């Protein structure tokens, strides 16, 4: 049975799991703030941390701990979020160096630990909800996970019932990092979730780098709910500390710091390796992870944990790769993440010396260096991590390595295992005495589901071409003599059947015909996008001929041919040979959307290890099969915004019989590449499934019909979720397929246009977006501009701020439309003001409850519209009241706080007003005429003292600041309102 969420929502469910299943204490933030005296501009519960530091560190006592805490506070002050985050992680891992003076006056430098991961039970694990934090703005994350008072995980949670999903939660996390970066300095991870989807990401990571976590330890594996499984898998104490200690790197990309956290397949594969080494029962294993899943970092994580945990004495880990380019890239990455204690073998002799030395370290080398290595070490503390494991079956390189290190642990990594007679990757890495194909598996299907890679489609192209007599003679004189009695057509057919496919790709008339086809396809499908293409040929000569023929039909700058150097007497080939620097420059230019070339022409180079998300289409004129075909396919499957799939246009009919081309299990053949016609089928099915959501409506291109559709979405969260998901998919498919005759037949395009109109009206009503059409993909946007009266939609569906005018304008709407309009408008309005007055919280809750009851069908449309109208009127009354009472916004917030939560302290309304005015006056006496006053600790302290003074001046009101959170709340409301005023 699939486990569901409690009625009170995602937040309550996650807190319940953490408390009852995962041994986290649960606490509401205000209570924890009071207990430990946390100020709202502090990200850490310092008093709680102080207690735990004294408990887990014998080296420090009461006389030193406050000085230590003061120095630690400074570690949270960084201009750059990620620089601070990196530095603080180092403190979490190692402790903080601190000089302590003993009884004899001797000073000694000690490392003081903030946490004790070796003894999880000695730490304080607290899940706190609604923790208010004030910096540039005031933010209140839904859940923060604290260890010893330090925030390690920040969660934002959404509900479809409130018209939001995990995409919105990710957006809130990104806003939080900008508005209140200080709370994110100590954190490890951010989490975004709704009822059915869970995503996590590193601090500071872009929005599109948040991933699911779908695997779990055995004790949690049977949990059906994906959100629940992920929470249990990641936030049990052991896994959280494991990630903290061994699975986070920082690196540099394009001159900026990036934080790297593990994907779940990387985490479990690395741990399986370390666990196997530690047990010592088996000496090998295969990590079979699809290309694009990040195998390099899986190796780094495994090597790092081996280095830090020492599963064998004095471990020496060799990361072995098969290409110089990959070796250079890994070297660069290892330097970038400041990987500890690693060396790069520069020569065979250097490799021999590194192997022979007894020091524990990580060594990066190419397999080719083992060809002539003359060393043998029989110890079992050597651990080999082999990238592209199938290459160890070639040129006896594997046996050379085995001879040098006969007792080493050996783990292979591959996305394309080989099983060809004696060449069998599975057999090579199968542990002796154990029938095991792989130690860990991550499939193409899993990669596509997780959106780490994209599905790849193929289409087979027939080419029609003729050879003249002169061209036949040039092809082969012996052939001409043998078949001189045949006609041109008959001889062409013989060539198709009997000439090798490699030779076929060098026949210029055929190339010329294909180039014309490629240009037509590229110009219609890719030219107006930011994606690029690659032509794959079987030889350097074929690649050169393609370049010559392409230059005749398009700007020569738009294409570039790349192949290996080497001497040749063939002038056709030699004219395009480039230095390694020129090749790197061409590749770098290709990866930039605004730069030429648009099309790369290759033969062998770049078919493996070339990860360019900008590459969408491969024009294949080379016979490939099995692992080489899988590797080529994977060049187009890297995700990028607006890219739904990769595409192989097949001129060699490789995919005509996929079972012969790919000798792999059926599941791989099914997912490796899919016939492109299925894209059209998928588009039509997705379009019809969207229209089926509105089957109770007679869908027409009228305002009334579209409004009915939008109302159905508004009333039903599940329908709304399906619409959002399917629309995103539909738009991506349209961008891929268009232009195509398929789209203009059987009213396909007109139906798609109508769905877009529903979407635009829905976004204006739901999100209050003034121009949702600007976020559409390019081809869809062009369609809308051509067929839809966007200005008319704007006129008929204006985005109003709530007001009496707004209520008057919507008074004639039918009840469902009216309820929809008010619910969205009011929620949007309150959201931006929720921290400015306590009554906004109650009003927001009223909107939520009415909307949810309406959506569940508990109240009719008319009653929902009436109740929501009352809420909007109450909001308007609330916002007019300060002027009526002659109070500033901040003073009115304090008045309402006294009125609603502390009426027993002063029952007289006039005196409550006067207290509010006096507190406002006390604030205005402070110096706040500068940027940053709202986060200045001295200003907040002075304001606190003045509020207490005003309370005392009004007599016998100690209860407002002793054992009460009134002062804290008053400060919050003053800061929020006055910041807006200024």
Mean pLDDT of all residues belonging to the chain: 87
Please check the confidence at residue 783 and state whether its pLDDT lies above 90: no
* Amino acid 374: pLDDT: 86
Domain boundary among 746, 764, 796: 796
* Amino acid 483: pLDDT: 55
Mean pLDDT of 509-519: 92
Please check the confidence at residue 907 and state whether its pLDDT lies above 70: no
Give phi and psi for 248, each to the nearest 5: -130, 130
Domain boundary among 776, 796, 816: 796
Task: Tell whether 690 is covered by a domain.
Answer: yes
Same-domain pairing of 279 and 392: yes
* Amino acid 6: pLDDT: 47
Mean pLDDT of 42-65: 94
* Amino acid 2: pLDDT: 43
Same-domain pairing of 641 and 750: no
Range of the domain at 911: 889-981
Same-domain pairing of 548 and 692: no
To the nearest 5 percent, what fractions of the chain are helix, strand and coil?
55, 15, 35
When mean pLDDT is compared across 419-423, 440-444, 704-708, the lowest value belongs to 419-423
Same-domain pairing of 618 and 689: no
Cβ atoms 174, 150 nearer than 8 A: no
Task: Tell whether 412 is covered by a domain.
Answer: yes
Same-domain pairing of 302 and 414: yes
* Amino acid 428: pLDDT: 87
* Amino acid 746: pLDDT: 67
Same-domain pairing of 379 and 313: yes
Sign of CA dihedral 774, 776, 782, 788: negative
Task: Tell whether 453 is covered by a domain.
Answer: no
Please check the confidence at residue 495 and state whether its pLDDT lies above 70: no
Domain boundary among 644, 672, 700: 672
Domain tally, the chain: 6
CATH number of the domain residue 294 falls in: 3.40.50.300
* Amino acid 424: pLDDT: 84
pLDDT tens track for 335-355: 888 898 899 999 999 999 999
Residues 803-831 as b/e (b if ≥16 CB within 10 A, e otherwise) read eeebbeebeebeebbbbbbbbbbbbbbbe
Percentage of the residues of the chain whose pLDDT score is greater than 90: 51
The winner for highest mean pLDDT among 34-43, 130-139, 289-298 is 289-298
Task: Tell whether 849 is covered by a domain.
Answer: yes
* Amino acid 839: pLDDT: 94
Task: Tell whether 488 is covered by a domain.
Answer: no
Percentage of the residues of the chain whose pLDDT score is greater than 70: 92
Q: What is the pTM of this model?
A: 0.86
Please check the confidence at residue 402 and state whether its pLDDT lies above 80: yes
Task: Tell whether 1 is covered by a domain.
Answer: no
Task: Tell whether 474 is covered by a domain.
Answer: no
Same-domain pairing of 218 and 343: no
When mean pLDDT is compared across 194-208, 866-880, 952-966, the lowest value belongs to 952-966
Same-domain pairing of 166 and 182: yes
Please check the confidence at residue 5 and state whether its pLDDT lies above 60: no
Mean pLDDT of 624-650: 89
Same-domain pairing of 28 and 139: yes
How far CA 819 is from CA of 215, 758, 846, in Å, comes to 42, 18, 13
Task: Label residue 360 exposed, middle or buried (CB < 10 Å: 0-12, 13-18, 19+).
Answer: middle
Same-domain pairing of 663 and 811: no
Q: 576: number of CA atoms within 13 Å, CB side?
A: 25
Please check the confidence at residue 469 and state whether its pLDDT lies above 60: no
Same-domain pairing of 43 and 182: yes
* Amino acid 775: pLDDT: 78
Same-domain pairing of 558 and 611: yes
Token couple for 371: 């060809």
Please check the confidence at residue 79 and state whether its pLDDT lies above 50: yes
Task: Tell whether 447 is covered by a domain.
Answer: no
Token couple for 339: 């990987």
The winner for highest mean pLDDT among 390-394, 715-719, 807-811 is 807-811
pLDDT tens track for 912-969: 899 999 999 999 999 988 888 887 888 888 999 999 899 888 875 666 766 677 888 8
Token couple for 663: 């000798």
Task: Label residue 908 exposed, middle or buried (CB < 10 Å: 0-12, 13-18, 19+).
Answer: exposed
């Amino acid at each position: 049975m699939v486990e569901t969420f409690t009625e009170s929502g995602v937040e309550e469910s996650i807190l319940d799991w953490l408390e009852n299943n995962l041994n986290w204490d649960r606490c509401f933030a205000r209570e924890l703030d009071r207990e430990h005296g946390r100020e709202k501009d502090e990200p850490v519960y310092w008093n709680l941390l102080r207690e735990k530091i004294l408990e887990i560190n014998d080296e420090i006592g009461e006389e030193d701990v406050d000085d230590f805490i003061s120095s630690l506070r400074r570690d949270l002050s960084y201009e750059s979020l990620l620089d601070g985050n990196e530095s603080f992680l180092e403190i979490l891992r190692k402790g903080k160096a601190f000089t302590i003076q003993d009884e004899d006056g001797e000073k000694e430098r000690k490392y003081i630990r903030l946490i004790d991961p070796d003894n999880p039970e000695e730490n304080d694990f607290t899940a706190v909800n609604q923790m208010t934090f004030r910096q540039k703005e005031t933010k209140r994350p839904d859940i923060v996970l604290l260890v010893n008072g330090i925030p390690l995980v920040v969660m934002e949670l959404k509900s479809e019932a409130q018209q939001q999903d995990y995409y919105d939660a990710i957006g809130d996390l990104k806003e939080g990092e900008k508005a209140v970066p200080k709370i994110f300095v100590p954190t490890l991870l951010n989490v975004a979730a709704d009822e059915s989807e869970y995503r996590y990401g590193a601090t500071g990571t872009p929005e599109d780098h948040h991933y699911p976590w779908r695997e779990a330890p055995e004790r949690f594996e049977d949990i059906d709910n994906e959100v629940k499984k992920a929470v249990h898998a990641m936030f049990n104490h052991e896994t959280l500390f494991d990630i903290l200690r061994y699975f986070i790197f920082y690196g540099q990309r394009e001159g900026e710091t990036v934080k790297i956290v593990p994907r779940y397949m990387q985490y479990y594969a690395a741990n399986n390796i370390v666990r196997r080494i530690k047990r010592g029962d088996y000496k090998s294993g295969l990590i079979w992870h699809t290309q694009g899943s990040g195998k390099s970092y899986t190796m780094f994580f495994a090597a790092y944990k081996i280095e830090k945990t020492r599963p064998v004495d004095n471990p020496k880990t060799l990361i072995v790769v098969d290409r110089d380019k990959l070796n250079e890239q890994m070297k660069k990455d290892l330097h970038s993440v400041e990987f500890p204690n690693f060396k790069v073998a520069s020569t065979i002799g250097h490799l021999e010396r590194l192997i022979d030395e007894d020091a524990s370290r990580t060594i990066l080398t190419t397999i080719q260096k083992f060809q002539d290595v003359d060393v043998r070490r029989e110890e079992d503390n050597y651990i080999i991590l082999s990238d592209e494991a199938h290459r160890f079956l070639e040129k006896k390189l594997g046996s050379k390595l085995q001879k040098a290190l006969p007792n080493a642990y050996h783990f292979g990594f591959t996305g394309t295992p080989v099983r060809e007679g004696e060449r069998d990757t599975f057999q090579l890495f199968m542990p002796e005495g154990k029938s095991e194909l792989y130690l860990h598996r991550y499939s193409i299907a899993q990669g596509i589901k997780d959106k780490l890679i994209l599905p790849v489609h193929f289409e087979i192209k027939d080419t029609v071409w003729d050879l003249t007599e002169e061209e036949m003679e040039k092809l082969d004189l012996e052939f001409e003599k043998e078949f001189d009695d045949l006609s041109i057509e008959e001889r062409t057919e013989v060539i198709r059947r009997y000439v090798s496919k490699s030779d076929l790709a060098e026949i210029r008339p055929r190339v010329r015909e294909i180039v014309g086809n490629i240009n037509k396809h590229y110009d219609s499908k890719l030219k107006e996008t930011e994606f690029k293409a690659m032509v794959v040929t079987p030889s350097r000569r074929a690649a050169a001929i393609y370049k010559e023929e392409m230059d005749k039909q398009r700007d020569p700058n738009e294409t570039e041919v790349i192949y290996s150097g080497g001497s040749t007497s063939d002038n056709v080939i030699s004219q395009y040979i480039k230095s390694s620097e020129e090749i790197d420059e061409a590749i770098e230019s290709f990866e930039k959307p605004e730069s030429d070339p648009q099309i790369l022409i290759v033969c062998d180079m770049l078919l493996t290890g070339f990860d360019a998300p900008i590459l969408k289409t491969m024009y294949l004129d080379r016979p490939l099969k099995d692992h080489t075909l899988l590797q080529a396919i994977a060049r187009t499957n890297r995700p990028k915004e607006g890219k739904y799939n990769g595409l192989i246009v097949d001129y060699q009919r490789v995919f005509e019989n996929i079972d012969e081309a790919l000798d792999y299990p059926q599941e791989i053949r099914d997912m490796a590449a899919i016939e492109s016609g299925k894209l059209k089928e998928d588009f039509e099915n997705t379009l019809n499934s969207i229209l089926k959501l509105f089957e109770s409506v007679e869908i027409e291109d009228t305002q009334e019909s579209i409004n009915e559709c939008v109302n159905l979405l508004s009333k039903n969260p599940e329908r709304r979720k399906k619409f959002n998901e399917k629309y995103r998919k539909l738009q991506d498919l349209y961008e891929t397929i268009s232009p195509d005759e398929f789209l203009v037949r059987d009213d396909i395009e007109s139906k798609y246009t109508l769905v877009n109109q529903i979407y635009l009206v829905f976004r204006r009503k739901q999100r209050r977006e003034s121009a949702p059409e600007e976020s559409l993909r390019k081809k869809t946007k062009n369609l809308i501009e051509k067929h839809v009266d966007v200005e008319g939609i704007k006129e008929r569906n204006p985005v109003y701020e709530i007001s009496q005018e707004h209520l008057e304008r919507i008074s004639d709407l039918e009840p469902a439309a009216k309820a929809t309009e008010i619910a969205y408008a009011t929620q949007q309005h309150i959201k931006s003001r929720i921290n400015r007055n306590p009554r906004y919280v109650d009003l927001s809750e009223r909107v939520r409850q009415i909307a949810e009851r309406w959506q569940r069908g508990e109240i009719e449309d008319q009653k929902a519209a009436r109740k929501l109208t009352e809420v909007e009127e109450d909001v308007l009354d609330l916002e007019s009241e300060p002027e009526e009472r002659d109070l500033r916004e901040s003073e009115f917030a304090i008045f309402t706080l006294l009125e609603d939560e502390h009426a027993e302290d002063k029952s007289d309304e006039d005196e409550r007003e006067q207290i509010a005015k006096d507190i406002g006056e006390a604030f205005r006496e402070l110096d706040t005429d500068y940027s940053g006053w709202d986060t200045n600790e001295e200003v907040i302290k002075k304001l606190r003292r003045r509020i207490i003074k005003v309370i005392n001046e009004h007599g016998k009101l100690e209860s407002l600041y002793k054992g009460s959170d009134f002062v804290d709340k008053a400060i919050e409301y003053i800061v929020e309102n006055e910041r807006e005023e200024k």
